[in-house]
Amino acid sequence: MPHIYYDFFAGGGMAGFGLGSGWQCLFANDIDAKKAASYRANHDGGKELLLKDVAKVTPDEIPGMADLVWASFPCQDLSLAGKGAGLAGKRSGMFKPFWQLVRDLHAAGRGPRMIAVENVYGAITSNGGRDFATLAAAFSGLGYRFGAVVVDAVHFLPQSRPRFFIIGIRGDLAIPDLCIQETPSSVWHPPALIEGQNLLSAAAKSRWVWWKLPVPACRNVALADLIEENPKGVTWHSAAETQYLLDMMTDLNRKKVEAAMQLGTRKVGTIYRRTRLDEAGHKRQRAEVRFDDVAGCLRTPSGGSSRQTIMVVEGETVRSRLLSPREAVSLMGLPETFILPERYNDAYKLAGDGVAVPVVRHLAEAIFEPVLKRNRLALVA
């Protein structure tokens, strides 16, 4: 029988692609109609998806009992690029009604066996670590043994995308020894997380575990492997448009392009437009390029600067254009069969708001599935 999961803030259902065929989604929820359309297009109609504000969802609308609750709640107020509202913000504050649903399920005897909450790295440090402590207290208060990791999608995909995951196991379930370790790991537990854990309450610390994840094999996919020569949804820039980007670069970034030209081979870089202070202290928009075979972190297309541009250099030839929708979802680990929204911004937002597919699979193999296997007899009983 498949493992059962709920997918909150589901978006296009990327968590389900990561969990794989051994899992069945019994309930999904999102408030965005466009994302819901993509979910349904890519999940056999998505009858399990409820399009509704999570704050208005009731336990009666959620069937059965979940082996896993997955929740990628809104990150805007926790992001380093946000305004610092944290869990008190309008968007990231959606964690609170979500967690109330979890509490209600527990009260009804349907507490999920495992809960995984995903967000940006800034969730660890926002509000001086108080938001992280709030998340920890939520897990601890319901009796979960829990811990957190930071996993960068760059281990699996050519995209720099560090994300924070806090994972809890219901208190009556055993955790296999292979899933935990005595001390933090330099790969998965950065100094900010270790410091945040040190500041937790005694009650939360008593339920804390250091999750043990295997280090994945070296990634064998580079950014250039995903770049399309004839993309759909975008067009190559004119020579004047490419020159405009070059003119927006500082000397340091222009030298990166010149170095790529001297190689004489095909090099693919990515560009973000950022506002920087010039020598006179005036704000200017700059084009910053990287040629390390890794894309910058995909974001939502709230403005032109958030849309990632690629630059392809082959000898003296330099071309540029926006990242295509297909390239964006490929950078999230979605298959070529994934059905894209028709509008560029909708597709880019779907990718930028999503969770990297192979990261979910890694967590499933290292934690979720071993825990369920260890407790199989108890769960059947």
pLDDT tens-digit readout, 330-359: 999 999 999 999 999 999 999 999 999 999
Mean pLDDT calculated for residue range 253-263: 96
Residue-level pLDDT at 127: 85
Residues 6+ apart with CB under 8 A from 332: 14, 153, 157, 159, 298, 351, 354, 355, 356, 357
In a 13 Å sphere around the CA of 33, the CA atoms on its Cβ side amount to: 0
Residue-level pLDDT at 273: 87
Residue-level pLDDT at 302: 61
Q: Per-residue pLDDT for 230 more than 70?
A: yes
| pLDDT tens string 158-194 | 999 999 999 999 999 999 999 999 999 999 999 999 9
Residue-level pLDDT at 380: 56
In the chain, what are the domain boundaries? 3-216+355-380, 223-351
Please tell me the CATH superfamily of domain 3-216+355-380, with its number: Vaccinia Virus protein VP39 (3.40.50.150)
| pLDDT tens string 85-134 | 455 544 556 889 999 999 999 999 999 999 999 998 988 998 888 889 99
Residue with the bigger pLDDT between 199 and 280: it is 199
Mean pLDDT calculated for residue range 366-372: 98
Strand 317-322, strand 162-169: pairing: unpaired
Instruction: For the chain, report the end-to-end CA distance as a whole number of angstroms.
Output: 15
Average of per-residue pLDDT values in the chain? 92
Mean pLDDT calculated for residue range 374-379: 78
Q: Per-residue pLDDT for 78 more than 80?
A: no
Place of tokens 């939520």: 138
Residue with the bigger pLDDT between 73 and 322: it is 322
C-alpha dist (Å) from residue 54 to 2, 35, 132:
26, 15, 21
Name the pLDDT band for 304 (thresholds 50, 70, 90): very low
